[in-house]
Amino acid sequence: MSHVIAAVSTGNQVSAIGIIRLSGSGCGLVAGKVFESKNGKPLQEQDNRKLVLGNLLDDQGRTIDQCMAVFTKGPNSYTGEDTVEFHCHGSPAVLASGLEALYKAGARPARRGEFTKRAFLNGRMDLTQAEAVIDLIEAESADAAANAAGQVSGKLHRKLTPIYDNLTDLCSHFHAVLDYPDEDIEDFGLENYAKDLKRDAKALYALLQTYGQGRILRQGVAAAIVGKPNVGKSSLLNALAGFQRVIVTEIPGTTRDTVEETVMLGSTRLRLIDTAGIRQTTDRVEAMGVERSRVAAQEADLAIFVCDGSQPLTQEDHDAIRLCLDAPNSIALINKADLGAVVQPSDLPFMDVICVCAKTGEGLELFANAVDTMFQGETPCDGSVLTNARQFDAVRRAYESMLAALQGLQMGQTPDAVLTDVEEAMEAMGEVTGATVREDITARIFQRFCVGK
């Protein structure tokens, strides 16, 4: 019997509507102590999933707000338990008073992610769906939201379940023959499962290949702006951000550290990193900034080389070019197009070279189109991609165990030796869906959530 928990589910800002949520056995009785319905019926006796008008009361019986309440009976609720929601006017003072009244009536404060955690523990969703809930809340692009929504609906779960079930059938068949030799059970032949093992290993490998796109969907593209001093790197970041995020002067070396800003460029979310200009310097602080620039470029998903198109290329430009070409993806921008062109696109060894003017915005739309082409993958954003490192690591371990099982099969190992690897694959896959996940991992996952979800 779970304790009744309560929390505000709509944040602490003033809004038109604010929602207080409760869950747990007996929550209808607890909520009924602070709610007086207009139809006179106690809250726990109201029709299931029907909004009811009434007054929300404080612990002294005074009206806090006129609101709507809805009682949902478990197990067909979000958490799988009885739940109640109060839909109030969105004053933080009203919501805080209502919450305090509920605590005095017998509820306790909900912990971070506790509603979704109860949904997971009660079998209303698996762990991929639970993790996708917070991804959906935090989504900063339409594609990220679409992918998270697909995972909430169980798309990733449906990709993994047939593989897990196949491995379960294999192991159960072997143990049934081993434990019940006198029963009329079809003889176990490991070679009969070789085709299935290869197919499932191939499916896991294909899933692993989606992680790059999934990580970018969730986190955005880490994009380092690289170039020598005074070519317009900071001006470019300001132009893309839409405000003066970085100080811009004519003095070389103004930017001495990496500065980050997240922007939507076309359909792609970029985590822009403005870096110190690449050059040799005796200034100790600037030299530290230059070293950080090199590290940022090496770790970025995209390196954006920027040069001053009105001036001939220098050795410092060529140093920055080499740094950018080592990145997984790179693009070149010839800036200051309004000052006349000395540098031509053919002078730069990049697949994509675009002439821009950070001051006027010229060419930035072409830049956005090029980045969209670079990072809009062919995999649909429907929830079927891996989106976080925990999932990727578990699927990787499952895949490696599958390969070990196939190798053992080819080498003629005994079935029990091969099945050890198969069971390790199942355990790793269970960490993705929650079938075998440890309590400490579960706790860490739900710590990402906000209170009230």
pLDDT tens-digit readout, 205-240: 999 998 888 888 888 899 999 988 888 888 888 888
Q: Choose among 445, 404, 441, 424: nearest CA to 164.
A: 424
- Kindly report whether the global pTM for this prediction surpasses the value 0.85: no
pLDDT at 251: 43
| Kind and range of the H or E run holding 65 | strand 63-72
Which residues are 357's β-sheet partners?
A: 362
pLDDT higher than threshold 70 for residue 248: no
pLDDT at 272: 86
Token pair belonging to 388: 């976080």
Asked if omega into 328 is within 30° of 0 (cis), the reply is no
Q: Choose among 412, 433, 388: nearest CA to 165.
A: 433
CA–CA separation, 267 and 314 (whole Å): 34
Mean pLDDT calculated for residue range 307-332 = 92
From 103-107, 157-161, 374-378, the region with the lowest mean pLDDT: 374-378
Q: Choose among 181, 354, 143, 381: nearest CA to 266.
A: 143
pLDDT band at 70 (very low <50, low <70, confident <90, very high): very high
pLDDT band at 189 (very low <50, low <70, confident <90, very high): low
